[in-house]
Chains A and B, each alone.
Chain A
Amino acid sequence: MSKRDPTLMRGVPELVVLRLLAHREMYGYEIARTLKVVSQDALTIGEGVLYPALHALEARGLLRSRTHQVDGRTRVYYQLTPRGHRRLDRLAMNWRRMSEGVERILGATTYE
């Protein structure tokens, strides 16, 4: 997630990656591309962030992976584990609560 306030973006790569993979299994490039398209360029994850994050999520048991050969190249596909689904539910709930709070503050005309 480049050129954005790192404090605000903390935890966002994990949340969005888990959300994308909750839908179906994907490989790294596909995740980066889908994220860019779905967020209409609002969010991009660089390779340097995406792959270490995927490895770390797998090491924590939130993802599992399998390799698949396509046109002579090896793709590593990731999918959510049951633990990953629970983590996604928790992160999504926290994110919604936080964003609703920020929305209320931004939309308020008075702060009494």
Chain B
Amino acid sequence: MSEARFKRLERALIRHGVAARHARRAALELGTHFHELRREALERGEPPEQATRTAHQAMGTDPALIARYAGRRELLGWLYRWPVAYTLAPVASFALLCITSMALLVLGLAGLHATLRSIAVPVWVAAAVSSTIAVALLWVLPVLVAAGFALLASRRPVAPRWLITSTLLVCLTARLMNAGLMLPVAGHHGSASLGIGFSFSALPQQFTYALITAALALVPYFLTSHRAQQGRSPST
């Protein structure tokens, strides 16, 4: 029962912004402390159940313990100490993933260059591959990255404003980017391109698409938060 209390406390500390390593250590140390207090009570002659109660009382309530840990800034996780980093991390991750994916594709295709030329890839196949890669990099990847960070945020005390801003930034960055990978077809070398740019005339449309993809990316977050809220609300 006491082990369950400290496991619960560890999760609660993380939810309140305490860094995972401090939360883990806190659960470990408080568990050992509880054990020592209980042993002390048993040595005083208290029956086991009473000794357990005495030790729990001496430890104080979980909200009081959580408040003490969460009240020390140096024990908080970086997301909680620098929430602005939470806005930038998803954008940086998305950009990095885009560049890495494209580099891997180019390296893979360079290895297959001779084979691709010998089998003479039809133009429509090359165009379909190019479109698929563009959709995967510029539509699917940003939604997955933003949704992933949003789900991570649902388990941390990240204010929704930072989360929504980061999701919008990822989706808008994706809308301003272009990517293409053309397989070598008869008479032509293959090509790869990845860039970012904008024109003022296209901005309203790109912003609308960014809003739609951001809304999609935030669906799992709101569902998880809603479920967690229902789980926390007292049963009637």
A29 at the interface (CB under 8 A from B): yes
Question: Which stretch in A16-24, A42-50, A79-87, A91-99 binds the other chain?
Answer: A42-50
Let me know if B26 and A55 touch, CB within 8 A: yes
Check if B64 sits within 8 Å of A73, measured CB to CB: no
Please provide the chain B residues from 47 to 75 with a CB less than 8 Å away from any CB of chain A in the complex.
58-60, 64-65, 67-69, 71-72, 74-75
Q: Are A55 and B25 in contact (CB under 8 A)?
A: yes
Q: In the bound complex, do residue A29 and residue B22 qualify as a contact, i.e. CB atoms below 8 Å apart?
A: no
Q: Say yes or no for B5: interface residue by CB 8 A criterion.
A: no
What 4 A-B pairs are tightest by C-beta distance, nearest first? A48-B68, A29-B36, A59-B74, A52-B68
Partner of B65, one of A29, A47, A60: A47
**B67 nearest CB neighbor, chain A only:** A48
Residues of chain B having any CB pair with chain A under 8 Å:
22, 25-26, 28-33, 35-37, 58-60, 64-65, 67-69, 71-72, 74-75
Tell me the interface secondary structure of chain B in the complex. helix
Collect the chain B residues with CB atoms within 8 Å of residue A60's CB: 74
Residues on A lying within 8 angstroms of B by beta carbon are 27-29, 32, 46-49, 51-52, 55-56, 59-60, 73-76
Across-interface contacts of A28 in B (CB, < 8 A): 29, 32-33
B65 to chain A, nearest CB (A): 5
A47 to B60, CA, bound (A): 8
Q: Which residues of B contact A59 (CB under 8 A)?
A: 74-75
Question: When the two chains form the complex, which single residue of B29, B68, B71 contacts A76, counting CB atoms closer than 8 Å?
Answer: B29
Contacts of A52 in B (CB 8 A): 26, 68-69, 71-72, 75
Q: Kindly list chain B residues whose C-beta atoms are within 8 Å of the C-beta of A73.
A: 31-32, 35
User: What are the residues of chain A within 8 A of B29 when measuring CB–CB?
Assistant: 27-28, 51, 76
A83 nearest CB across to chain B (Å): 15
Rounded to whole angstroms, the CA-CA distance of A32 and B32 in the bound complex is: 13
> Which residues from A are CB-within-8-Å of B68?
48-49, 52
Give bound CA distance, A76 to B68, whole Å: 19
Contacts of B65 in A (CB 8 A): 47-48
Which of A29, A48, A74, A76 interacts with B60 by CB under 8 Å? A48
B32 near A75: Cβ-Cβ < 8 Å: yes
B25 near A76 with CB under 8 A, answer yes
A-chain residues with CB within 8 Å of residue B32 when the two chains form the complex: 27-29, 73-76
- Which single member of A32, A56, A74 contacts B75 (CB below 8 Å)? A56
- Give Cα A32–Cα B58 distance, bound, in whole angstroms: 12
Contact indicator B25/A29 (Cβ below 8 Å): no
B33-A76 in contact (CB<8A): no
